Amino acid sequence: MMDGFLQSLEGSPLAVRTTGLSKSFGAKKALRGLDLAVPEGSVYVLVGPNGAGKTTSLRILLDLVKADSGTSEVLGGATGSEGAWVRAQIGYVPDIHDFGYPELAVGSFLRHHRSYFPAWDETYALRLLSEFDISTEDTFGTLSKGQARRVQLVQAMAHRPPLLLLDEPTDGLDPLARDHLLGLLADHLAGTPTTVLLSTHLVHEVEGLGDHLGVLRGGRLVAQLPRTTLHLGLHHLRATIPEGWQSPPRLLEAAIVCQTQKRDISWTVWGDSEELQAQLSASGADLRHWEALNLEAATRAFLSMKER
C-alpha cells in the first residue's frame, strides 16, 4: 500500500501493470511516472480531465506510442517487445471513430477486421450488430457518431478478448444510445470473462459499471483503489462548529478537501469513519451529514485535493 487512496494492488493478479511510465510530447509532459495496476477481471475506470494522460496511457499499452521511460505489461507480455501478441489480447475502441474508409460497408470492414483475429466469433458479431441495429450494408460515411461507436464496440468485443481498452466510449452519445451501449457491454462482461480498462472524463456515465477507480491528474495517478475500499474509506461530512472551535488533529490529517461557509464546514475525508465521527463529536462540532461518495464525487474530490 503506497498510500490510503493510491494502492499498488499487488495482491491480486494484474491484467495491466505499468511502472514509472513517463512520456513527453515536446515540452508538454503527458505522463509523469505512471504506476497503473489493473486487476484481472476488473472494470477499471481511469478518469481525469482532458489532457490528463488517459489516451496516452492506453496508446502506450497498444504500443502506438513509445514511453520515454518506464515499463508496461499486458497479461504478462511486454507491450513493446511483444506488441503483436499483446494486441491480439486486446479489443480496442479508440477515441477517434473515423478510420479513413467512409465508402466501406460495415460488413466489408468487419470481414477485413476478422482476418486479424483468428478467435473471431462471427455469430456473436452478427448478433451484436443486430442488437445495435446496424446493417452490414451501411457505409461508414453514412453512420452517425453513435452508430460508428457501436461498430467499434462490435469489432472490439467479437473476438472475445481478455482485455478491453475503451477510450471515452460514451463520448458524444445521446443518453439512450449510451445506456444501450453500456447495457450491451455489461451483457458481454457477464458472458465473457474480461478485464476492462475504460478511460473517461464523464464518470457518472459509467457509475454502475466500474469496480476500480484510477484518477489521473497532470500525467500522475493521484488515486487508485477498488470501489469497495473507496466506499469504506472516503466520506463526505458536514458539521456546524461552535465559536473558537479547534479541529481534532486526526481530522486535519484525514481531510483531503475542506470547504468553509461561516460556521458550516464540509470535509471530504479518508480514513476510519467511526473514529473520525467520534473525534468530531468530542470536539464539540454538531455533525449534520455523513455519506460515502460515489465514483463521480470521489473523482471530484481527488482532482481538487492539494498534492501530498
Partner 1 sequence: MEQRSNPAPKLSDVFRAQVGLLMEKPWGKSSFFYGIILLQGVLSASAGVFIGFSIEFEAGEDAIYSMPQVTDLGLEPGPAAIFVTFLLMVVWATAWPGRVWRGGTAGSTDYFESLPVSWSAHQLVRLSAGGLVLSALCLLLLTVTTVTAALFGHGAPLAEFPLSAWLCYLTGPLLTYLFLSAFPMRGRRVWSYLGIAIGLSILSWSLLNFAGVGDPVNRIARQLLVGEVGFITALADPILRTNLAFSWPARPWMPALLLWSALAAATVAWTSTRGRRQT
Tell me which residues touch partner 1 (CB under 8 A).
13, 40-41, 59, 62-64, 75, 83-90, 92, 94, 96-105, 108, 111-112, 115-119, 137, 139, 141-144, 159-162, 193, 195
Beta bridge partners of 18: 72
Cβ atoms within 10 Å, residue 111: 14
Nearer to partner 1, 161 or 233 (CB): 161
Whole-angstrom distance, CA of residue 253 vs CA of residue 256: 8
Min CB(104)–partner 1 separation in Å: 6
Min CB(171)–partner 1 separation in Å: 14
β-pairing, 28-34 vs 14-25, is antiparallel
Nearer to partner 1, 15 or 255 (CB): 15
Nearer to partner 1, 82 or 296 (CB): 82
- Cell numbers for 49: 480531465
- Cell numbers for 291: 455519506
Query: Phi and psi for 280 in degrees, rounded to 5?
Result: -65, -45
Asked if residues 210 and 227 have their Cβ atoms less than 8 Å apart, the reply is yes
Asked if residues 185 and 191 have their Cβ atoms less than 8 Å apart, the reply is no
Query: Phi and psi for 169 in degrees, rounded to 5?
Result: -65, -25
Cβ atoms within 10 Å, residue 157: 23
Q: Write down the H helix ranges in 234-289.
A: 249-254, 273-282
Asked if residues 106 and 135 have their Cβ atoms less than 8 Å apart, the reply is yes
Asked if residues 204 and 262 have their Cβ atoms less than 8 Å apart, the reply is no
- Angle value at C-alpha 93, between 214 and 80, nearest 5 degrees: 75
Long-range contacts at 255-263 (CB < 8 A, ≥ 24 apart)? 256/5, 256/301, 256/302, 256/305, 257/301, 257/304, 257/305
Side chain identity at 206, as an amino acid letter?
A: V
Nearer to partner 1, 122 or 137 (CB): 137
